[in-house]
């Protein structure tokens, strides 16, 4: 008799593959991309398509009420979904919210949650169009679905990376993970600390995603929700390529360098490589687009840094340390159930 596997033994990503096999066996032609990318892509008319994505934030898994106000949580749960639309090069349009909360939750808390959501939604020109409300036993969970759109020809997938492409990352990696670390150590959430701010209020890179797709710069793209190493793994798997990332090329923020200077040498790059929830864009582009990336970096005023190259070694991610030798990582990034 085969042993019964638990979710812990199977892990998040294998579980998603099992779910995918149990889903619709033949998808209609209108589904341009189903499970497997940052958002599903569904034909709307001959020129454009809808992008559909969902993310669920669960109390004590993704946030603790002790150090996350309802307002900040509301902002974040919309931002992380928008980030998935940005990773496809699209524009977010509508959102739907399923809320489960214990009966004792103050109405004020829910009002603050939705005020936070609206703050980000209004900035992006998005509208709340529905949802569901249920009572839960003990903890709050907020599940958000965002619907966006893009021109069909402009959607960027995880599967387009080619050998020799450069790998780029927007922003500064690892700040969110360090911010969470500070919160867990008891730093006050409203201390104004940059790392904590990055953890609570990620800025989805919608403008960057749209420019990278419209200008045909990116050959593949993903947003960094689980850390560069894990998210690069998705691009590698879907593009059937390998990748080389150089720690000396990672652009670390001043706050990161200040805070991480107290870490042991082997731990120094860990938050940047494997820390989750940065919600930056990780993308690949051919050499012919290097100038276009530099132009975009200047236009947007955000760092866009080349951190490595795509290789032909399918499935192999090499991390090259400061001394030029490969780095071995004990842990690879965030995955649920492990
Ligand atoms: P992201 O981090 O970009 O939100 P995920 O790793 O959560 O992406 O999901 C990867 C893909 O698997 C997406 O296409 C998502 O829609 C799909 N997926 C994840 N969980 C489920 C599920 N329980 N049922 C169906 N599809 C799922
Ligand atoms: Mg994503």
Among all ligands shown, which has an atom nearest to the Cα of 39? 1
Give the pLDDT score at 337: 52
- Separation of alpha carbons 216 and 154, rounded Å: 7
State the average pLDDT for the chain: 94
**Which H or E element spans position 298?**
helix 290-300
- Worst-scoring range by mean pLDDT, 143-152, 154-163, 315-324? 315-324
Nearest CA to ligand 1 atom 20: 16
Using the structure block, give the residue that is written with the tokens 């993903």. Answer: 222
DSSP state of 326: B
Centre of ligand 2 from the C-alpha of residue 323, in Å: 32
> Is the per-residue pLDDT at 195 higher than 90?
yes
CA-80 nearest atom, ligand 1: 4
User: Which of 14, 15, 16 is the pocket-test mutation for ligand 1 (most atoms within 8 Å of CB)?
Assistant: 16
pLDDT, tens only, 289-322 = 999 999 999 999 999 999 999 999 999 999 999 8
φ/ψ (deg, to 5) at 54: -135, 145
Backbone Cα Rg of the chain? 20
CB 37 less than 6 A from any atom of ligand 1 = yes
Question: Contact 169/280 with Cβ under 8 angstroms?
Answer: yes
310 bridge partner residues:
243
> 188 falls in which pLDDT band (50, 70, 90)?
confident
Nearest 5°: the CA angle 33, 39, 42 is 45
pLDDT, tens only, 90-143 = 999 999 999 999 999 999 999 999 999 999 999 999 999 999 999 999 999 999
> Is the per-residue pLDDT at 274 higher than 90?
yes
Give the pLDDT score at 333: 61
> Is the per-residue pLDDT at 336 higher than 70?
no
Give the pLDDT score at 332: 63
Using the structure block, give the residue that is written with the tokens 């749960």. Answer: 77
Among all ligands shown, which has an atom nearest to the Cα of 57? 1
> 4 falls in which pLDDT band (50, 70, 90)?
confident
Across 69-97, average pLDDT:
97
- The CA-based diameter of the chain, rounded to the nearest angstrom, is 61
pTM of the model: 0.95
> Is the per-residue pLDDT at 34 higher than 70?
yes
- Separation of alpha carbons 196 and 189, rounded Å: 7
């Amino acid at each position: 008799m085969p042993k019964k596997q638990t979710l812990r033994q199977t892990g998040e990503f294998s579980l998603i593959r099992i779910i995918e096999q149990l889903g619709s066996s033949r998808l209609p032609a209108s589904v341009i991309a189903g499970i497997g990318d940052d958002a599903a892509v569904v034909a709307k008319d001959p020129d454009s398509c809808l992008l559909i994505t969902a993310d669920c934030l669960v109390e004590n898994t993704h946030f603790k009420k002790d150090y996350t106000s309802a307002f900040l949580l509301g902002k974040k749960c919309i931002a992380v979904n928008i980030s998935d639309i940005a990773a496809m090069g699209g524009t977010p349009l509508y959102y739907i919210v399923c809320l489960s909360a214990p009966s004792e939750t103050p109405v004020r808390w829910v009002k603050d949650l939705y005020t936070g959501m609206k703050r980000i939604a209004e900035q992006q020109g998005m509208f709340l169009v529905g949802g569901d409300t249920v009572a839960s036993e003990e903890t709050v969970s907020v599940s958000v679905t965002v619907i966006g759109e893009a021109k069909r020809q402009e959607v960027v997938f995880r599967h387009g990376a080619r050998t020799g492409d450069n790998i780029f990352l927007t922003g500064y990696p690892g700040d969110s993970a360090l911010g969470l670390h500070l919160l867990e150590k008891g730093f006050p959430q409203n201390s104004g600390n940059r790392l904590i701010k990055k953890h609570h209020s990620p800025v989805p890179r919608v403008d960057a995603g749209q420019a990278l797709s419209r200008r045909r710069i990116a050959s593949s793209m993903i947003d960094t929700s689980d850390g560069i190493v894990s998210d690069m793994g998705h691009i590698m798997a879907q593009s059937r390529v390998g990748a080389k990332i150089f720690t000396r090329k990672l652009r670390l923020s001043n706050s990161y360098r200040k805070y991480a200077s107290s870490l042991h040498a082997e731990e120094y790059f860990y938050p940047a490589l494997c820390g989750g929830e940065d919600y930056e864009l990780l993308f690949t582009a051919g050499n012919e687009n290097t100038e276009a990336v530099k132009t975009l970096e200047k236009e947007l005023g955000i760092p866009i840094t080349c951190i490595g190259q795509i290789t032909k070694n399918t499935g192999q991610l090499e991390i090259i340390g400061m001394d030029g030798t490969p780095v071995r990582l004990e842990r690879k990034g965030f995955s649920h159930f492990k």
